[in-house]
Structure 1
C-alpha cells in the first residue's frame, strides 16, 4: 500500500467517510465530526503509521486533508499525487 492509500485509509477510518469525500474542502471547519478527539486520534494514527513525531505547530495547523499531506512531506513522507 502506498503512502497516499495509507493516508486515505486513516482519514476514512477516523472520520467514517468515503474516499471520494477526501479533497480540498475536507477541513476541520467543514467536517462536523472533526473535533478535538478526532484530531488527536488522527495525529496519533498518522505518527504511528508514518513513524514521525509532529512538532506542536504542525499539530495545530493540521486542519485539512490537503495541508496534512504538505506537513507529512515536511517529515520526508512522499506522496505520488
Structure 2
C-alpha cells in the first residue's frame, strides 16, 4: 500500500466516509463526519498507519486534506 493509499484510507476509516469524499477540497467540518470526535479518529488512524505520534499543535492545525500532507512531511511521511 502506498503512502497516498494509507492517507486516504485513514480518512475513510477515521471519519467513516466513502473514499470518493476524500480529495483536496476536504476540510474540517466540510462533512458532518469530520467533527471533533471524527478528527480524533482520523488522527489515530494516521498515527497508526504511519507509525508516528503527532504533536498537539499539529493535531490542532490539521484542518484539511492538503494541510495534512504538509504536516505529515514534518514526520518524514511523503504523500
Settle same-fold status: TM greater than 0.5. Answer: yes
Aligned equivalents of 1:63, 1:40: Cα separation in 2: 12
TM-score (norm 2): 0.87
RMSD over aligned Cα atoms: 1.3
Using structure 1 for the length normalisation, give the TM-score.
0.85
- Unpaired stretches in structure 2, ≥5 consecutive residues: none
After superposition, residues 39-58 of structure 1 pair within 5 angstroms as 39-58=39-58
Determine if contact 2:14/2:43 at 8 Å carries over to the other structure.
no
- Structure 1 gaps of 5+ residues are none
2:35 maps to 1:23? no
In the alignment of these two chains, the number of paired residues is 79
